[in-house]
Structure 1
Amino acid sequence: MAEVNSIPRSVLFPLRIFFGVFFLHSGWGKLTGNFLGGEVLKGILEKWIPTIGLREYVLFLKDFVIPHITFFSYLVAFGETLSGLFITFGCLIRGACLVTIFMNSNFLIATMSQGAASVGVNLACIFISITLFLGSAGRFWGIDLYLSKRFPNFPF
């Protein structure tokens, strides 16, 4: 079988650090600010809901997310913070990238009508997450390098 050309993991290292710090900074701001009470997230969602074109997603937000807004505010804040931490240190990067893909896909659906800047940021985050996921970016100067030697068949 022919060898597939791929991006060297050393090239992905600066991207991994930048992306991890980006999420870590965003999540940490939510953890240390007034985001965890749920009122901030509720206000954001109530502003976005009238502009969301996907009816099923609007129903999901109104019937499930908003009634459990405190839980979802913690989920977003800790999801961003832990993903950023794991990506920065190259630890279980594939799992962390799956979390960021899921979060940014939801942000993308919710902000689709908010303009090109919002859509562009979320699409870029999804693309970077996929790139880091496929490139196993944590195996260069990351904890995943040591985990892959200890557990060679572990998928994350």
Structure 2
Amino acid sequence: MIDTTDFRFLSREKDRHGNDRVYVRRGGKRIRIRAAEGTEDFNIAYTDAVAHLRGVPRDIKLKLPPVSNEIGFVYFLRSGERMKIGFSKNPFSRGQQLLTGIADGVHSFGFVPGSERDERAAHRALSKHRIAREWFECHPDVVKVMMRSLTFCKVAIEDDLREAK
């Protein structure tokens, strides 16, 4: 589930049947969010509702920054009992940057070819294990995604090398 502390106008209520409902409340008015929490559609619906309650006409859609399909690398960095899943065009440089900023030290670092879309897909799939932003608890599900990604990439590279001989 997404960390909703960033959504200061979010309100959870029960309807008359006891079902959970999520609303954006501002200035005594509210708009229901029907998209599932933790999805890009939820973020867009939230942003749109806040804008509407501020007086921006509904036909003007506010969206999150576009996600690039440009190929780079999805990286997995383990530090203690946490795992960071991120995107970088230069994972070696990014790894060096992260080394200086992580007090616990880095226990493992791996990366596979991918795009920002791939990174976001991994974030959505693992959202229930999210600690904050790109950090996830080192749950077996998270480790499994990392290992499958790295294994798949290794097998694909080995296949390419065999074909090149």
TM-score, normalisation: structure 2: 0.31
Q: Which has the higher contact order (CA 8 A, sep 6+)?
A: 1
Larger strand percent: 2
Larger helix percent: 1
TM-score, normalisation: structure 1: 0.33
Larger radius of gyration: 2
